[in-house]
């Protein structure tokens, strides 16, 4: 019968601290255990011309899925195959060029024992994470990584807790070791995470977010100030570019320029835009990283910028709101 008595706050805290202490101890033991089998596993994976196929049942399968995802996102092609499904057709996902990473604490998981002979017949290298070095699966493996624990954090010493923790830690250790060996850098990481914040910062170009064609606020160098203000208002960028007869950017007029013009004694209804514009404005190329534009705009205290080609012909424009929408700011 399950005891439904509510625990005291003190007992909850004590239980949690005991779990953490047990799992920390297990991780420390794992750290001391890492040696030649670990480096050999890494060598096999680095030399693999296919993918790392991670297999495992139950809690080991859940941990295996995370390990496969971490490997894949850090430069080692990998995916998880459910062993139960493997024996019903999914085994076709595995090729002779692959490596199998099998996770089984007991080393006797039935679903794994069913597919391992076929995997071995294909000539696939088998790396096993197990708590029993003398198990059947371990005996079939090319490399055995020890994930044994003195005890689980579960008070019944039954539920996989400390053992799954160190399996996950060991998987992270492999992923990071391979990452460093491959010289996998931020740019590589961004390419596999294009939807994330880092991916956007390292991959998004000005050309991806700039406003173009009819969205660009532009007036001729012969335009009047009211005409420039109308263009600014209609395009909602807080600025307009001033171009000459060759369509070259020669100036910019912003909200700040308007405030400065109003402080003078000029007739704002009759003055030409070339009298109040800021000449030779800053601009960027379309292949500039958007994150570099953020730094430029901050350093120069500006809110908008034009995009030009090598001949200073205008291609686009953007402001801080465009950078916000793109997730760069």
d(CA 130, CA 137): 8
The label of the residue with tokens 């570099």 reads 292
pLDDT at position 1, please?
Answer: 52
pLDDT at position 187, please?
Answer: 65
Q: At what angle do helices 255-262 and 225-235 cross, to 10 degrees?
A: 150
Strands 314-319 and 304-308: antiparallel
d(CA 123, CA 46): 17
pLDDT at position 92, please?
Answer: 83
d(CA 121, CA 100): 13
Residues of the chain with CATH 3.10.580.10: 206-325
How many residues are there in the chain? Answer: 329
Residues of the chain with CATH 3.40.50.10490: 9-184
pLDDT at position 263, please?
Answer: 85
pLDDT at position 295, please?
Answer: 87
Residue ranges of the chain with pLDDT lower than 50? none
Q: Does the model's pTM come out above 0.75? A: no
Long-range contacts of 84-88 (CB under 8 A, 24+ apart): 84/57, 84/111, 86/55, 86/111, 86/115, 87/111, 87/114, 87/115
Provide CATH code, domain 9-184: 3.40.50.10490
Q: Which CATH class is domain 206-325?
A: alpha beta
């Amino acid at each position: 019968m399950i005891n439904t008595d509510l625990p005291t706050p003190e007992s909850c805290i004590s239980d949690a601290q005991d779990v953490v202490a047990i799992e920390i101890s297990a991780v420390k033991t794992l750290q001391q255990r890492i040696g030649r089998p670990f480096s050999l596993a890494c060598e096999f994976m680095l030399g693999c011309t296919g993918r790392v196929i991670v297999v495992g049942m139950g809690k080991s399968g859940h941990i295996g899925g995370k390990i496969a995802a971490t490997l894949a996102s850090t430069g080692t092609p990998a995916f998880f195959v459910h062993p139960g499904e493997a024996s019903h057709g999914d085994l076709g996902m595995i090729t002779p060029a692959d490596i199998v990473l099998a996770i089984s604490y007991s080393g006797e998981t039935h679903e794994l024992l069913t597919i391992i002979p076929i995997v071995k017949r294909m000539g696939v290298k088998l790396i096993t994470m197990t708590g029993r070095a003398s198990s059947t699966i371990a005996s079939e493996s090319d490399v055995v990584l020890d994930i044994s624990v003195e005890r689980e954090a579960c008070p019944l010493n039954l539920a996989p807790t400390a053992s799954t923790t160190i399996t996950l830690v060991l998987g992270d250790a492999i992923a990071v070791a391979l990452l460093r060996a491959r010289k996998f850098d931020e740019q590589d990481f961004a390419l596999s995470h294009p939807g994330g914040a880092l991916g956007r910062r390292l991959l998004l170009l000005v050309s991806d977010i700039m406003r173009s064609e009819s969205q660009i606020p532009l007036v001729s160098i012969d335009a009047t100030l009211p005409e420039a203000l109308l263009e600014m208002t209609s395009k909602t960028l807080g600025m307009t570019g001033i171009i000459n007869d060759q369509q070259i950017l020669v100036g910019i007029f912003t909200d700040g320029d308007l405030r400065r013009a109003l402080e003078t004694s000029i007739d704002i209804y009759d003055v030409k835009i070339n009298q109040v514009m800021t000449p030779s404005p800053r601009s960027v190329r379309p292949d500039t990283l958007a994150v570099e534009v953020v730094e430029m705009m901050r350093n120069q205290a500006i809110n908008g910028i034009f995009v030009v080609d090598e001949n200073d012909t205008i291609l686009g424009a953007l402001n801080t709101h465009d950078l916000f929408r793109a997730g760069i700011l």
